[in-house]
Each structure stands twice: as structure tokens, then as C-alpha cells.
Amino acid sequence: MNQLSLLGLISLVVRRDLVLAMRRRADVLTTLIFFVMVVSLFPLGVGPEMEMLRKMAPGLVWVSALLASMLSLGRMFSADYLDGTLEQMMLAPQSLAIVVLSKILAHWMVSGFPLVIIAPVLGMQFDMSAQALWVLMITLLLGTPILSVIGAAGAALTLGLRGGGALVSLLVLPLCIPVLIFGAGAVESVVSGINAGSNLALLGAILVMALAFMPWITAHALRISLE
């Protein structure tokens, strides 16, 4: 019997989650469409003045991305929890944190990455400059994984609870505020002609920290929830 390497395990879990997501495509599209719709609703709420919209755009796209990523958090562990796969993952001779990290990675590829891709199109609706669009994409590329990582902990804590979906948002949203501030801040500083470097650096620092500690905490939360 061949031993499976660490990378082998990660790629196995990621590929499995991606295949599952592809066979349930509707779920993936829901997040994306939600994102597009929320962003498009704002002009209807605040009026079509281009000057104001251009000013609001970075924050607006970021808030919508935050809300959209909350939408899919419930799915991260619930299917595996219901059919017993999660139990098997805990009883695996590998570290649960690694499995969790792989699941987060897969979740981000399915629900976070599409937001990064579609964001420039939405930014154009608000007449953002090309440079601002680039920075917007970079911040989302750095920021959406953080949302997935923090969200995973929230999803793990609320696993199997009644009203889990709303509760997850209640727990996770306050924790995501720094990401929102630095993410939207970076884009805004570019718009107003300041260097966005410090914002991006802070965002990167948060990402590294979150990646280092949160999978481990999430694994612990899963153990608590399954007991």
C-alpha cells in the first residue's frame, strides 16, 4: 500500500471538492449572481450621479463581495457533516488542519475567485479607472481568501445549528471589518492618487496570519461541533 504524501492529500481533497462543486453548479452561480445583483442595486438606491458613484465604488464592491462570500459559508462543511464524511476526516491519520486548509482552498476557488474575476466588469459600471480596477482585483485576490479562512471558523462553530446561516454572518462579519477597511482603503487611495502599498501590505499580513492560525482553530472548532 502506498503512503499518500501531504501534497497528495491536499490535491485529493481540493479535487474532490471541485468535482462536487462542478456537479452542483447552481450553488456556485448563486454566489456570483448575488454579487452582481447587489452591486447593481446600489445605483438604484442612491441615484445615478456618476460623480458620487465613482467615489463610492470601491467600498461598494467590497461590501458586496463581503456579503456574497457570507452566502456560501454555510455550504463549506454542512454536506460533509450530514453524510458522515466529516467524521471520517477527523478519524483520518493526517492532521485535520491540513484537510480543513484544503477545503478552504477549494471553497475559495469556487466562491471567492469568481468574484475577483467579475469585479472589474462591475467596476466599469462605476467608471473606475484602469489602475483602480487593477488594484481592486489585487485587493480582492488578497482579501477573499481571508474571508474564506475566517468564515470557515464561523461555519465550523455553527455546524448543525438551527438558523446557522444568519448566525455565521453575525459571528464572522465583525471579524472581517479590517479586511473591508484595508481592501476598500487600498482602492480609494489609488483613486485619490496616494500609494496603495501600505494597505496592500497590511492585507497581505492579515492573510498570512489567518492562513497560519485559522485552519488549526477551525479544526478545533469542528471537533467541538461534532462531539
Q: Does 174 bind other proteins (CB under 8 A)?
A: yes
Q: Which of 18, 27, 67, 95 binds other proteins (CB under 8 A)?
A: 95
CB nearer to other proteins: pick between 114 and 220: 220
Q: Which of 46, 52, 124, 161 binds other proteins (CB under 8 A)?
A: 161
Helix (H, G, I), strand (E, B) or coil at 192: coil
CA distance 147 to 152: 8
Q: Does 94 bind other proteins (CB under 8 A)?
A: yes
Region 66-85 residues binding other proteins, contact defined as CB under 8 A: 79, 82-85
Q: Which of 28, 63, 141, 175 binds other proteins (CB under 8 A)?
A: 175
Give the contacts of 207 (CB within 8 A, at least 6 positions apart): 142, 143, 145, 146, 149
Q: Does 12 bind other proteins (CB under 8 A)?
A: yes
CA distance 174 to 12: 33
CA distance 139 to 35: 16
Q: Does 217 bind other proteins (CB under 8 A)?
A: yes
CA distance 60 to 62: 5
| Least CB distance to other proteins at residue 91 (A) | 5
